[in-house]
Amino acid sequence: MALSTRVNQSRQIEGGRAIQLVLDQSSGCGFASKRQYLFGRVSMKIKLVPGDSAGTVTAFYMNSDTDTVRDELDFEFLGNRSGQPYTVQTNIYAHGKGDREQRVNLWFDPAADFHSYTIMWNHHHVVFYVDEVPIRVYKNNEAKGIPYLLHQPMGVYSTLWEADDWATRGGLEKIDWSKAPFLAYYKDFDIEGCSVPGPSNCATNPANWWEGAGYQALNAIEYRRYKWVRMNHMIYDYCTDRSRYPVPPPECLAGY
């Protein structure tokens, strides 16, 4: 099902089949789904800001919009100086607790063409994919007392905004506004999941395809790709940051 959008300070192009987000010195912009979803698969094709995009963040995320106890799943693409690798940061909030950042340098130029970015979310795990390559897995370990995203439906959001206090080299690289406007493009929105409001039994229906046996864990090919990303392209993992967490968080010790 195509993503229906609420557009704010952005432009529909290609006959409404794509959206252009624009960031300049006066404002950022974004769009959101009209409905919320509880479990399923959300995918978008995105072409990121080209050239010198330092200090900008292009985001694609799901959010329960529930303040301090929110659930959230984030793709955040951190802008860079020309010629440097583009970094994608993922983060997970469960029961209001976040600070679970991981960062991966992309192995291609994401501003040269569209690439697919996907969030798969079911009762067993959350998986972040880049062009069908899994870059992050967060397992359901609620049985071990570790929060998981089970109860709150989330909307889908995309934004392009200024974050030069932290986005590029920890805030050392500031936005060069002479390069504005900064442009990012989205198309081929695809959502399959339990929309809320909707049938009350959808979120617990084991017959939903995303709950099937083939989606309860990474298959062998996906696991090899996942390990390749972690070995060759991961540049930060909160689980191994002893300055922040002298004792690793429980979900890190539980495995993922």
Which active-site residues does the annotation give? 72, 76
Tokens, residue 248: 């690793």
Q: How far is CA 239 from CA 45, 53, 60, 194, in A?
A: 29, 28, 23, 31
Which residue in the block uniquely carries the two structure tokens 């200024």? 162
What is the three-class DSSP state of 213?
Answer: helix
Q: Is omega for the bond preceding 248 within 30 degrees of 0, making it cis?
A: no
Q: Do 66 and 77 touch, CB atoms closer than 8 A?
A: no
Which residue in the block uniquely carries the two structure tokens 């992309």? 106
179 residue type, one letter? K
Residue 56, H or E segment: strand 56-63
Q: Do 75 and 128 touch, CB atoms closer than 8 A?
A: yes
